Chain A
């Protein structure tokens, strides 16, 4: 047998690549179960309204219609979605109905479901539905949610606070008193929809004879979804099976359970045995689906004249929208622990109040919230540099943690890495000094050109569970059949990142077989009975470690079986290729698997089932690091920002598959540019979405991104046996923050100290115009 799988190496993405790039992926909309019925959701056109009536007879009589459902009908088979298990501290999560009952709380909330033989017939019938809404005053601006005598989004809560957290360390007030200068600035990030290429979708089927519900969903967390759906459908979890087909991007917007999934399950129960399908339209996705949270607040930095930071604080209001998204791993305060970023700051405090508003529900898209704090500290560094007229790299160097491991004052523990080396490498690779010089000379010629740097410390895999408040573990099962073929099952899944390739290789390496002997099963709650999901940067670090553990345990089992067959004890069993040998005796891997299943030669008491399950729980959170240098130029007449150069250096821990990592890094940079320049979900004064198609929602396109210079300085983490820190959205947010810093740098000659994202052309034009006091020309 030829060489066995190595755990690291240049890959080809062979497991899933050919399937996905040749159009042979199987996505939720590709599922066409026989006799399937289609759901069209009728949504509220008002941001906040009382539902007076929904008249269904005309729609029900429309051709092809099987049924029209409102809250009343569905209430017979389901309850609202509710948080299962203990809520995080200081958190309120009102129940979220499948279809709104008395009140619509955001423009786009589902009010009724039309079920028909085809999507077209369902849509057509929906036009005949008479929805009588009485508009109510709403809360669209999060700041107003906390005022006295304003409407409550959830009257039963008696206020609009969803959750609050304070993370602090050291005495920030004392830090500000001792500081030579205290800088304050209001900063904000907008809400936006992350716009995965594949929209959401769900198929459900009720098996009456077995009293079982089968659900296929484009989700990031099948087991969590099962738990939520079982709870709301009044079923034991064992009666609900969730499968995930291929998932075409998620970014946090497919995490957890949503009313649409519940509606489809409830209807499936009513119309059984026919299956029911709902595929989110692009409009529904962009305008009404779970979005990224908005935040705004006051940043305060106390700094010594020499550039050393003494204290930093951020006091912010986050907008979670009309309902708190019910997601696994909900841990917003993790963001607070990262307020110090890569810097040794004696005192830091992050206080966030998250409020309900009449906007669509919003959660942590693009990184487990952590990256927001990364943006804040990186803006702070540039404010300091501007105030003290220091170079922005110099200020960062002054404040860096010189050596890792280290623990920030907000108790984030960075176990490995070398910030100074990363900065040095980025300065060298980007030719920072040359760029600075070029920037100055172009400025003298009147160009608005800027350089921006951001050093982002993110969160990859969170842990341990007792600290994160949510499940930080992941489980994996490795099973070997009688013919030696191996299957891997986990609670996670891939959204196009290439996990199948990497997980198969991890298992193959540990089993001592070739990678093509291992297949990775699709996430399915019946084949993998417990799991957490894929989000943040946990998949390789945590899920991969679980696979490694299971495969190693199974390999030990195989050696034990071999010892019996070879009439020796296990410590004398060696591997030669895939074969098991002891002295001159040998049994091939395949024969061994066959013999084990046959069981006749097994030691008494040992199991013929060649299967091991392993649960991995990280004993700390990993912290991937990325430093990004960006150069931008602004067209002073039109306000258009062009990114001219990007240089990225990363430490994501051990990279098991550099080609797949680099693919994500490139995508991450393009996305970071999008967040800086383009992404926002503007709504009208009435709460109506202004972006419903890709004609309105801008995304990064190939012509809008420059060539990237990317490189890696990996230091393996000690927090998992693979040494992987996870990718998460650290690179994305580094690119995002550096482009924002570059935009501000470009405008600094005009006296600009801060610009909130996105830096859209009209916004920049207005800033330039107001600074110059002329027509902007």
Chain B
């Protein structure tokens, strides 16, 4: 059962920002509602004001940038991303992740931006967004700013968002690689990632010229595998060639542990998913 709240559905960003500035911590922003509504039902959050974005114009679009990048509006659902020709063409990795979120009902309601703002450590997206070096577009009375996803997500359910700020979109730069893949192991109950790894590699002249690997589900926040990204440079992209360097990719971090998976198992899964994501990405060379 939902506790009582005031419902507002502004039509413009300006109006929404005014409400945020007025109510600050007392307001919760509603997009797909797939995290917020259950949390409200559980009594975990009791906002005085619910700010529904769904009547606002311009937030439902996936817009192309001239340089090949994408702007994904705050109301774009997982399903939109999954089926959008534009998204699949320009950012197949993101579309691949979107297609694996939850089930069909969840994908039809939940949004990419909502998921990123929720900052659930087991969310699928951050792995890909880190690998893609995506930016979060934030509006406030002080103007707009862009924050890299890496800095935006600060911890489990913690972001850099100020109470008077609103996320308008996520910008995904031009993908410089088609050879990308996302591999995860699902939590048997929630379907969230126990470990999920997104990898994209750029191959030039038969050698790895660049690599980006993001890991989610394993620690309080998603992280990049900078060391492995470095080690891959100049190597031949042979499937299974990197087994020796993928040992304990999550070591040194505080690894999550709960009833579904111990830290030791999660850490192992991070290795398995990393190896598999790389293998899968490499298998897509030339496809």
Contact = CB atoms under 8 A, between A and B. Distances in A.
Interface in B33-90: 42-43
A243 interface: no
Contacts of A678: 188-189
B189 A762 contact: no
Contacts of B192: 695
Interface residues of B, number: 23
B1 interface: yes
A762 B43 contact: no
Interface in B141-162: none
A698 B259 contact: no
Interface in A619-656: 637-638, 640
Contact of A123 (B43, B247, B262, B269): B43
Contact of A690 (B259, B265, B269): B259
Contact of B265 (A694, A698, A699, A765): A765
Contacts of A637: 272
A691 B272 contact: no
A762 B266 CA distance: 9
Nearest to A758: B188
A346 interface: no
A775 interface: yes
Interface string A306-329: 000000000000000000000000
A762 B261 contact: yes
Given A691-B259, A695-B190, A696-B260, A765 B268 contact: yes
Contact of B259 (A120, A682, A694, A776): A682
A119 interface: yes
A638 B272 CA distance: 7
B239 interface: no
B262 A119 contact: no
Interface string A696-715: 11110000000000000000
A760 interface: yes
Interface string A673-705: 000011000100000001101111111000000
A678 B192 CA distance: 16
A64 interface: no
A761 interface: yes
A696 B190 contact: yes
Contacts of A119: 1
A761 B190 contact: no
Contact of B3 (A120, A691, A695, A696): A120
A775 B268 contact: yes
Nearest to A704: B188
Contacts of B272: 637-638, 777
A696 B265 contact: no
B19 interface: no
A694 B189 contact: yes
Given A638-B185, A691-B259, A762 B265 contact: yes
A696 B258 CA distance: 10
Contacts of B43: 123
B228 to A, nearest CB: 16
Contacts of B3: 120
B1 A120 contact: yes
Interface in B236-287: 243, 247, 258-262, 265, 268-269, 271-272
B-side binding surface: helix, strand, loop or mixed? loop
A760 B192 CA distance: 16
A761 B188 contact: yes
A775 B244 CA distance: 12
Given A119-B1, A123-B43, A762-B262, A695 B268 contact: no
Interface of A, helix, strand, loop or mixed by DSSP? loop
A interface bracket (residues with beta carbon within 8 Å of B): 20 to 34
Interface in A718-777: 760-762, 765-766, 775-777
A696 B268 contact: no
Contacts of A761: 185, 188, 261, 265
B54 to A, nearest CB: 25
Contact of A698 (B188, B258, B268): B188
A777 B185 CA distance: 15
Nearest to A696: B189
Contacts of B262: 762
Contacts of A777: 243, 272
A638 B259 contact: no
Contacts of A762: 260-262, 265
A361 B4 CA distance: 36
A698 B189 CA distance: 4
Contact of B188 (A123, A760, A776): A760
A698 B261 CA distance: 13
Contacts of A775: 247, 268, 271
A186 to B, nearest CB: 23
Contacts of A691: 189, 259
A693 B188 CA distance: 13
B227 to A, nearest CB: 19
Nearest to B265: A762
A337 B3 CA distance: 53
A120 B42 CA distance: 11
A635 to B, nearest CB: 9
A537 B185 CA distance: 38
Contacts of A682: 259
Interface string B183-197: 001011110100000
A762 B267 CA distance: 12
A478 to B, nearest CB: 42
A511 B195 CA distance: 63
A696 B259 contact: yes
Contacts of B1: 119-120
A120 B265 CA distance: 40
A751 to B, nearest CB: 21
A696 B261 CA distance: 11
Interface string A117-144: 0011001000000000000000000000
Nearest to A766: B265
Given A120-B1, A695-B189, A696-B190, A638 B269 contact: yes
B185 A697 contact: no
Contacts of B260: 696, 762
B111 to A, nearest CB: 19
Contacts of A123: 43
Contacts of B271: 775
A640 B185 contact: yes
A776 B189 contact: no
A29 B259 CA distance: 31
A760 B187 CA distance: 11
Contacts of A760: 188
A62 to B, nearest CB: 15
A697 B188 CA distance: 8
Nearest to A769: B268
Nearest to B248: A775
A31 to B, nearest CB: 15
A760 B259 CA distance: 11
B211 to A, nearest CB: 21
Contacts of B269: 638
Contacts of A640: 185
Which residue, B187, B190, B268, has most C-beta atoms of chain A within 10 A?
B268
Interface string A33-57: 0000000000000000000000000
Contacts of A766: 265
Nearest to A637: B272
19 contacts: A120-B3, A120-B4, A637-B272, A638-B269, A678-B188, A690-B258, A693-B42, A694-B189, A694-B190, A695-B187, A696-B189, A696-B190, A696-B260, A698-B189, A699-B189, A760-B188, A762-B260, A765-B265, A775-B271
Interface of A: 119-120, 123, 637-638, 640, 677-678, 682, 690-691, 693-699, 760-762, 765-766, 775-777
10 nearest A-B pairs in the assembled complex, by CB-CB distance: A690-B259, A698-B189, A698-B188, A695-B190, A762-B265, A637-B272, A638-B185, A682-B259, A696-B189, A119-B1
Given A695-B189, A698-B188, A775-B247, 8 more contacts: A120-B3, A690-B258, A691-B259, A694-B190, A695-B187, A696-B260, A760-B188, A761-B265
